[in-house]
Amino acid sequence: MKKILILILFLLFGWAGSTWFIGNETESLLKSYLDNSKKAYAEMGMKANFEIKDYKKSFLKSTAKTVISFSTGDPELDELFKNIQFNNTITHGPLLWANGKLAFGTAHIHSTLDMEALEAETREILKRIFADKNPLNSHLTFGIDETVDYELVIPEIAIKETMSQLMIKDGISLSGTMDKNTLMGTVKGTVGAIEIKDDGLLVKTALSTLDIDMQGMIAGQMLGTAHFSTPSITIEGKAIPPLSFGIELSSDAKKEGDEGLNSAIQLIASNIKAPIDVSTIKFDLTFKELQIKGLEQLAAIQKDLEQLQSNAFNTDMSEEEQDAAMNKLQNLPNIMLSAIQNIFKQDKTAINLKLDIASQQGNALLDINTRYTGNGANFTLEELSTNTLATLLKVIEGKIDFSSPKAMLANTPAMFLMPSLIKEGVIAEDSDSYRLNVLFNKNAITLNNKPISVEEFAQLLNPLGVGASQNEPADAEELDQSELPPALLEEELSKQSTEKTVEETEQPIEQEKTE
């Protein structure tokens, strides 16, 4: 019995000692966490400032207030996101009663928005929106290691005005585990069913889910995977037919060696119910070996743009500072072109796009594959702006494949263009489908298995050139209007109508002069 009592006393004193020690460290722990948050926001291109005040320490718990401000460059938004204050209750470890359950760690921090620190009008608005519940509850549990478990809860939202309404049933909930230094880690969350009403328009979504694994940041680009899913979105309105579909959005980004970045984005719209015959749309976009150096340069340019935007609201700038900002703005296009060129690596960087549209009539498929073959400095901004296609063909190679059942396009606006596109050789056809195949490599282009010059291909891409002669343009009066595409036909009819109106207007004037 004596040994058991000694053991219990030892454990109690050990717990008390560790609790006292951790209690002394929690203020520096909180400060370190806020400093790391500031750095993490900066890496994502956001400016934030965190401040601790009114820190009061006791044996088992401490309390503190944190003040957060965000800087966007817009004075109105900066004023809105200025000095947002939170109340924090800090429980000292190693034994924690955290968010209704026993945990083991260094500290647990429960944070809520400080409603009393808000202006009276703002406080009353938030009370109506959140039905007297605190708009934000967060729980952070710091482990003995470098990890932090967290949970963030925003309650149900209801915004009601005369002609509009926004509701998020069951609110928003996020949870996961992150590194306390980098703030990278996992995010699992739900967004409650949303309902938006606005002047006869009704938009509804089912409960949505979010799953993210953040492994790092490069030039504002998150490394890792993300997946967002909404099984049902419905749109109804007086002037539009009903529409419903589900959405899944996924992304995956990871480093390729020390200098490259691979990235993929996928968007799937499924269970589509709409006036058109489409059941599923699948879109894939992949980037291979984008160069981190160029991405970082673009991120720096973005910061410069934000600074220029912020300076635009600064009335205290000297004339020299204004001239310097103007020079930087004028040189920005060339600087941006240089950064873009540094994103690509010769014979390595590739961009691929795939689009698959499914219907009862079959699938329409578009597949674009491109690879960068230039050296990063063999074209200028002037060349790109004056002769875009020829300039791009100097530095990229690839192919474009398109196919679609004829029946799928039968009742779509695309059918108005098909006769001209087929006549010009842009689209090939067989008994039941349309096809397009383009191969391009170093100024050599093959269109549907036939060689074509860059100039001819550029003319075919020009909407006003479709259906027109490749030699001298035909006189407007000699054009067969039945062969004109809608855009050119509308222009021709408008021109003729204008000429007729001018003639009718001028005739009485001439007669009056004669009299």
pLDDT in tens, 317-327: 677 777 777 77
Rounded to 10°, the helix 292-312/319-343 angle is 160
Which position has the token pair 């009276």?
120
The C-alpha angle with vertex 294 and arms to 252 and 368, in degrees rounded to 5, equals: 55
Question: Which tens digits make up the pLDDT trace of 219-264?
Answer: 878 899 999 999 999 999 888 889 999 999 999 999 998 899 999 9
Looking at residue 298, what is its pLDDT?
85
Cα–Cα distance for residue pair 110/62, rounded to 1 Å: 11
The stretch 283-308 carries a mean pLDDT of 86
* Most confidently modeled range among 33-37, 234-238, 265-269: 265-269
Indicate whether 11 pLDDT > 70.
no
- Higher-confidence residue of 261 and 514: namely 261
Phi, psi of 14 (to 5 degrees): -65, -45
pLDDT at 269 exceeding the cut of 90: yes
So what's the pLDDT on residue 90? Answer: 85
**For residue range 422-448, what is the model confidence (pLDDT) as tens digits?**
888 889 998 899 999 999 987 689 999
Residue percentage of the chain with pLDDT more than 70 = 77
Model pTM score: 0.77
pLDDT value at residue 376:
63
The enclosing H or E element of 337 equals helix 319-343
pLDDT of residue 480: 47
Say whether pLDDT at 20 is over 50.
no
CA end-to-end span of the chain: 133
| The pLDDT of residue 309 | 66
pLDDT value at residue 464: 37
* Ramachandran category for residue 131: left, alpha or beta (phi over 0 → left; psi -120 to 50 → alpha): left
Phi, psi torsion values for 480, nearest 5 degrees: -85, 105
Burial (CB count within 10 angstroms: exposed 0-12, middle 13-18, buried 19+), residue 102: exposed
| Stronger pLDDT, 95 or 157, i.e. the higher one | 157
User: Strand runs (DSSP E) across 130-171, as ranges?
Assistant: 137-142, 147-154, 157-160, 164-168
Distance CA 419, CA 226 (A): 43
Q: Can you point out the beta strands (E) in 219-372? A: 221-236, 243-256, 260-273, 280-291, 350-359, 362-372
Determine the pLDDT at residue 420.
Answer: 84
119-135: pLDDT as tens digits? 888 888 889 999 999 98
pLDDT band at 472 (very low <50, low <70, confident <90, very high): very low
Q: Which two tokens stand for residue 473?
A: 């343009």
Token pair 């690839």 in the structure block, residue: 398
Cβ pair 238, 264 in contact under 8 A: no
Residue 210: its H or E element: strand 208-218
- Model confidence band, residue 73 (pLDDT cutoffs 50, 70, 90): low
pLDDT of residue 44: 65
Q: How far apart are CA 422 and CA 146, in angstroms?
A: 64
Window from 145-159, 357-371, 416-430, 457-471 with minimum mean pLDDT: 457-471
Which of 193-207, 336-350, 496-510 bottoms out in mean pLDDT, i.e. has the lowest? 496-510
